[in-house]
Amino acid sequence: MGFWYFLILFSGLFLVMNGLLGKKRLSLVLIGLLCISFSVFMFIPGSDEIISELFHLN
């Protein structure tokens, strides 16, 4: 699962960089920041329990 979190992290970084350098600034930067924050959250220990409680996956 760590591979997918790294993939989301690097795609978020790519979107932020393209958003800062390109013309569609706000949308790419926001989507990139969402990807980065989600991947960092998923790297935190215990995040799987929070997600399972949120979606009732007991």
DSSP 1-58: -HHHHHHHHHHHHHHHHHHHHSS-HHHHHHHHHHHHHHHHHHHSTTHHHHHHHHTT--
pLDDT band at 24 (very low <50, low <70, confident <90, very high): confident
d(CA 58, CA 54) in angstroms, rounded, equals 10
CA atoms within a 13 Å half-sphere pointing along the CA-CB vector of 51: 10
Amino acid at 28: L
Q: Is the pLDDT at 57 greater than 90, yes or no?
A: no
Count of domains in the chain?
1
The domain in which residue 33 lies consists of 2-54
- For the question of whether the overall pTM of this predicted structure is more than 0.75, the answer is yes
